Amino acid sequence: MRQPLHLVFLLCCLGQLAAGQATADAKLSIDQRVFTASKVYSQLQLYFSSSKGSSDPSLDTSYKNYLRAVLATEDRRQFDLATMEFVAQLHNGHTFFWDAWLNKNDQQPPGFYAALLDGKWVVQTSLLDNLKSGDVIASIDKTPIDSFFQQQQRYIAASSTAAQRHNLFLYPYLFPEQFTLTLEDGRKVAINRSLAKEPETKTDGRWLKPGQTAYIRIPSFFYPILEDAAFNYVNQFRAAKVLVIDLRNNPGGLQPMRLLKALMDRPYRGWKDSTAMHIGVLHSFEGGPQAEDSKGGVPDYFKGYSDALAALSNAQLMLGGGTVSSSQPIFHGRLIILIDGGCISACEDLVEPFKDNGRATLVGEATQGSAGVPYTYDFHNGMSLKISVKREYFPDGSEFEGVGIKPDIEVHPTIDDFRNGRDPVLEKALELAAKP
């Protein structure tokens, strides 16, 4: 089976996210903690865009708990985790806190990736000799794997519980530097993150059936060279009758507009976006009427005015959703796109137009449902806060966040597929490609 490059996800992200220089100080003064915590809270209130609007009362309660936690310790790692937990309560994959200091000191990958499959945590990718694809994890250091996930879930910023499960093994700092896996068959595997290898990341292309069906696998869009290579492969395979684009486990990055234009041969609709509006006078009516008549009641004229403005206090500005014309496509043949829950962000930006207008047949599993270009607040000490300033919807206005893009043809790999090196998603694509 094709080896998904899950382990690259955070390594790529960190190169994009880390701001400023990581300091060597593992302790934070009370001034640093209070300032950072209050700034995180205020920035979320100002910029975060959600279906509830900009003033979710539950955020206040969460902040009080968060503030108590960070005041109780000067340890930087504990501060980072508390902040990640606070931000993760917004349940948005593009809203999260990061600290380059934590990256520098505790970011070594475990050397494998596992995810929930058929109710079991299954190793899907491994660079370790004593751990294979298809191995089932029963526990981590004697803690049942389900319990371990429940303990760590609160730190994982994602738009759904399914996404949190998918991303668990992409957060190395949630694991000890050394730990022991107990597998379902009773074997024990010692993991030392400091010794883990890093996989190679590159775009691949080849003929699956010369002159007929070609295949391009794109691991991410974090580096322009990866999209450039995909574009060159599209040029190389422009005469193919069928082109298979493999976007499974592609965590996004930069929007691949050049690739989109090369493959799109017809008009398509873009996302609909909403972003929070902040107009001071509107918020002044949240507490109730601001005028009384001679009898102590609310004048009718003012009540209508007050109700109208109060209804707008959490207003969202809607944007986008228009039709975009195609522009000089390179490939005009049949297109099949392979997707799964690891396709996130810019990967979903690429997939959505092909789903909306039927240009491609989507095969596999639903994407993760998290996209949007976040606003960044840089603390200039290695810490940064990313905030999703817009909420995306499908062109018809239906929910996308936490839902994802569904395939036209669902194919779910099994544990036996991983054990036997089979790729049923690609096999289905080849079956479709062989049909007239």
Contact 268, 359 (CB under 8 A): yes
Picking from 417, 407, 310, 320, the residue whose alpha carbon sits closest to that of residue 362 is 407
Task: Give me the CATH code for the 204-270+322-371+406-434 domain, please.
Answer: 3.90.226.10
Give start and end residues of each alpha helix (H) in 48-140.
Answer: 57-71, 76-88, 100-106
Q: Answer left, alpha or beta for residue 369, where phi above 0 means left and psi between -120 and 50 means alpha.
A: left
Task: Give me the CATH code for the 112-195 domain, please.
Answer: 2.30.42.10
Q: Answer left, alpha or beta for residue 112, where phi above 0 means left and psi between -120 and 50 means alpha.
A: beta
pLDDT in tens, the chain (436 residues): 444 444 444 444 444 444 444 445 899 999 999 999 999 999 998 888 765 544 566 889 999 999 999 999 999 999 999 999 999 999 999 999 999 999 888 888 899 999 999 999 999 999 999 999 999 999 999 999 999 999 999 999 999 999 999 999 999 999 999 999 999 999 999 999 988 777 778 999 999 999 999 999 999 999 999 999 999 999 999 999 999 999 999 999 999 999 999 999 999 998 988 887 766 666 565 555 555 555 656 666 566 666 666 666 666 777 787 899 988 899 999 999 999 999 999 999 999 999 999 999 999 999 999 987 789 999 999 999 999 988 899 999 899 999 999 999 999 999 999 999 999 999 999 999 999 8
The token pair that represents 204 in the structure block: 């691949």
Domain ranges in the chain are: 8-106, 112-195, 204-270+322-371+406-434
Backbone angles phi and psi of 99, in degrees to 5 = -130, 120
- What 3-state class would DSSP assign to 123? strand
Cα–Cα distances (Å) from 82 to 70, 89, 217, 407, 419, in that order, read 7, 11, 37, 37, 38
Q: What are the DSSP calls for 144-185, one per residue?
A: EHHHHHHHHGGG---SSHHHHHHHGGG-GGGS-SEEEEEETT
Contact 247, 344 (CB under 8 A): no
Give start and end residues of each alpha helix (H) in 280-345.
Answer: 280-283, 300-311
Task: Report the DSSP pairing between strands 112-117 and 96-99.
Answer: unpaired
Beta bridge partners of residue 274, listed in sequence order: 318, 391
- What pLDDT was estimated at residue 206? 97
Q: Distance (Å, rounded) from C-alpha 112 to C-alpha 169?
A: 8
- What pLDDT was estimated at residue 300? 63
- What pLDDT was estimated at residue 152? 97
| pTM of the model as a whole | 0.86
